[in-house]
Amino acid sequence: MNLATPQKKIISSKNILFLISVFFLFNGLTSCQFYRNTASRYNAYFLANERFNEVYKNTYVQQKSDFNNVLAVLPTIDSVSMGAFKGELDYVVEKASLPIQRHPESDWTDDSYLLIGKARLHQVDYRNAINSFKYLNGNSNELDVRHASLIWLMRSFIESGNLDQASFTMDYISKEGDKFSEENIRDFYLVSAHYYRTITDFDKTAAYLELALPYVKNKTQKARYHFILGQIYQNKAKQGIDDKTINVKKFDRKSYQNYQASIKAHPEYEMVFNAQLNASQVAGTSAEDIKQAQKYFEKLLKDQKNEEYKDRIYYEMAGFAQKRGKTEEAISLLQESLNQPSENSAQKAYTYVRMGELYYAQSEYAKANSYYDSALAISTEEMRNYDQIAERGEILNQFFKQYDVLQKADLKINLSQMSHDELVKYFEKQIAEEKAQIDREIAAAEKAAKNGNLVNKGTTNPFANNSNIAQTWYFYNEQAVRQGKNTFVRVWKNRPLEDNWRRSNKVNSAIDNTANPTETMADSKTDQENLYATVAGVEERIKEVPATKEEITLLEKEIEIALFELGKVYHYQLKEDENARATFERFIKDFPKNKNIPEALFLLRKMCLENKSLEKCDVASYEKTLQSKYPESVFAKLISDPNYLEESAANDTIVTTLYQESYELYSAKNYEKAIEKLEKIQNEYPQNSYNAKIELLRIMSSSYIESLAVYVEKLNIFVSKYKGSQEQEYAKKLLETAVKKLNEKPLKDTKSEIDMNKGG
Lowest mean pLDDT among 232-246, 512-526, 561-575: 512-526
pLDDT of residue 344: 84
Indicate the DSSP class of residue 178: S
Residue 583 in this model has a pLDDT that exceeds 50: yes
Q: Where are the domains of the chain?
A: 4-38, 418-504+517-541, 568-640, 653-753
Residue 278 in this model has a pLDDT that exceeds 80: yes
C-alpha count within 13 angstroms, C-beta hemisphere, residue 552: 8
Q: Are residues 150 and 172 in contact, defined by beta-carbon separation less than 8 angstroms?
A: yes
Which of 334, 348, 353 lies closest to 391 in space, CA to CA?
353
Residue 608's identity, in one-letter code, is C
pLDDT of residue 79: 81
Cα separation, 651 vs 640, in Å, equals: 15
Q: Are residues 360 and 331 in contact, defined by beta-carbon separation less than 8 angstroms?
A: no
Q: Domain 653-753 classified CATH 1.25.40.10?
A: yes
Q: Are residues 582 and 419 in contact, defined by beta-carbon separation less than 8 angstroms?
A: no
pLDDT band at 104 (very low <50, low <70, confident <90, very high): low
Lowest mean pLDDT among 22-36, 294-308, 408-422, 563-577: 22-36
Residue 588 in this model has a pLDDT that exceeds 90: yes
- Ramachandran assignment for 216, one of left (phi > 0), alpha (psi -120 to 50 degrees), beta (any other): beta
Cα separation, 114 vs 243, in Å, equals: 46
Mean pLDDT of the chain: 80
pLDDT of residue 356: 93
pLDDT band at 617 (very low <50, low <70, confident <90, very high): confident
Rounded to the nearest 10 degrees, what angle do helices 219-239 and 248-264 cross at? 160
pLDDT of residue 684: 74
pLDDT of residue 37: 57
Entry field: residues in the chain: 760
Q: Are residues 312 and 277 in contact, defined by beta-carbon separation less than 8 angstroms?
A: yes
Rounded to the nearest 10 degrees, what angle do helices 46-62 and 109-122 cross at? 30
Residue 469 in this model has a pLDDT that exceeds 70: no
pLDDT of residue 740: 85
Taking CA atoms, 215 is separated from 71, 172, 218, in Å, by 20, 22, 9
Task: Report, as an integer, the average pLDDT of 527-546.
Answer: 82
Cα separation, 712 vs 640, in Å, equals: 44
Residue 414's identity, in one-letter code, is N
Residue 498's identity, in one-letter code, is E
Cα separation, 707 vs 163, in Å, equals: 10
C-alpha count within 13 angstroms, C-beta hemisphere, residue 664: 13
Task: Report, as an integer, the average pLDDT of 649-668.
Answer: 78
| Surface-to-core class of residue 381, CB atoms within 10 Å of its CB (0-12 exposed, 13-18 middle, 19+ buried) | exposed
More confident residue, 249 or 64: 249
Residue 738 in this model has a pLDDT that exceeds 50: yes
Q: Are residues 674 and 666 in contact, defined by beta-carbon separation less than 8 angstroms?
A: yes
pLDDT of residue 38: 60
The angle formed by the CA atoms of residues 730, 731 and 736, to the nearest 5 degrees, is 100
Rounded to the nearest 10 degrees, what angle do helices 671-684 and 691-702 cross at? 150
What percentage of residues in the chain have a pLDDT greater than 90? Answer: 35
pLDDT of residue 285: 66
More confident residue, 26 or 369: 369
Residue 718 in this model has a pLDDT that exceeds 60: yes
- Could you write out the DSSP letters of every residue in 566-618? HHHIIIIIS--HHHHHHHHHHHHHH-TT-TTHHHHHHHHHHHHHH-TT--S--
More confident residue, 450 or 733: 733
Taking CA atoms, 408 is separated from 417, 433, 555, 589, in Å, by 15, 19, 9, 20
Q: What is the 3-state secondary structure (H, E, C) of 669-734?
A: CCHHHHHHHHHHHHHHCCCCCCHHHHHHHHHHHHCCCCCHHHHHHHHHHHHHHCCCCHHHHHHHHH
pLDDT band at 194 (very low <50, low <70, confident <90, very high): very high
Cα separation, 556 vs 575, in Å, equals: 26
Residue 499 in this model has a pLDDT that exceeds 80: no
pLDDT band at 7 (very low <50, low <70, confident <90, very high): very low
Which of 718, 711, 717 lies closest to 750 in space, CA to CA?
711
- Collect all residues with Cβ–Cβ distance below 8 Å to 226 and sequence separation of at least 6: 213, 258, 259, 261, 262, 265
End-to-end CA distance of the chain: 73
Taking CA atoms, 297 is separated from 53, 330, 331, 350, 537, in Å, by 40, 14, 17, 19, 48
pLDDT band at 747 (very low <50, low <70, confident <90, very high): very low
Indicate the DSSP class of residue 40: I
Residue 4 in this model has a pLDDT that exceeds 50: no
pLDDT of residue 432: 92
pLDDT of residue 560: 94
The angle formed by the CA atoms of residues 503, 507 and 511, to the nearest 5 degrees, is 95
List b or e across 446-465, with b for residues whose CB sees 16 or more CB atoms inside 10 angstroms: eeeeeeeeebbeebbbbbee
Q: Are residues 265 and 220 in contact, defined by beta-carbon separation less than 8 angstroms?
A: yes
Task: Report, as an integer, the average pLDDT of 662-681.
Answer: 88
pLDDT in tens, 385-394: 888 888 889 8
pLDDT in tens, 218-231: 999 999 999 999 99
Indicate the DSSP class of residue 3: T
pLDDT band at 656 (very low <50, low <70, confident <90, very high): confident
Task: Report, as an integer, the average pLDDT of 640-658.
Answer: 64
Task: Report, as an integer, the average pLDDT of 330-358.
Answer: 90
Lowest mean pLDDT among 102-111, 112-121, 373-382: 102-111
pLDDT in tens, 81-102: 787 788 888 888 888 888 777 6
Which of 476, 467, 468, 466 lies closest to 444 in space, CA to CA?
476
Task: Report, as an integer, the average pLDDT of 692-712.
Answer: 89
pLDDT of residue 305: 86
Cα separation, 125 vs 82, in Å, equals: 11
Task: Report, as an integer, the average pLDDT of 172-190.
Answer: 91
pLDDT of residue 450: 57
pLDDT band at 757 (very low <50, low <70, confident <90, very high): very low
- Collect all residues with Cβ–Cβ distance below 8 Å to 214 and sequence separation of at least 6: none
Task: Report, as an integer, the average pLDDT of 29-57.
Answer: 68
List b or e across 510-538, with b for residues whose CB sees 16 or more CB atoms inside 10 angstroms: eeeeeeeeeeeeebeeeeeeebeeeeeee
Cα separation, 481 vs 475, in Å, equals: 6
pLDDT of residue 697: 92
pLDDT of residue 230: 95
What proportions of the chain, in percent to the nearest 5, are helix, strand and coil? Answer: 75, 0, 25
Alpha helix (H) ranges present in 452-548?
Answer: 478-492, 517-531, 538-542
Taking CA atoms, 46 is separated from 20, 87, 96, in Å, by 29, 17, 9
Lowest mean pLDDT among 13-17, 179-183, 259-263, 332-336: 13-17
pLDDT of residue 382: 78
- Collect all residues with Cβ–Cβ distance below 8 Å to 698 and sequence separation of at least 6: 674, 675, 678, 679, 682
pLDDT of residue 532: 82
Lowest mean pLDDT among 232-241, 425-434, 526-535, 588-597: 526-535
pLDDT of residue 84: 79
Taking CA atoms, 405 is separated from 161, 400, 561, 572, in Å, by 44, 8, 9, 20
pLDDT of residue 457: 37
Cα separation, 154 vs 30, in Å, equals: 37
pLDDT of residue 181: 93
Task: Report, as an integer, the average pLDDT of 167-174.
Answer: 94
Instruction: Give CA torsion, residues 595, 601, 607, 612, to 10 deg.
Output: 170
The angle formed by the CA atoms of residues 54, 60 and 65, to the nearest 5 degrees, is 160
Task: Report, as an integer, the average pLDDT of 296-304.
Answer: 87
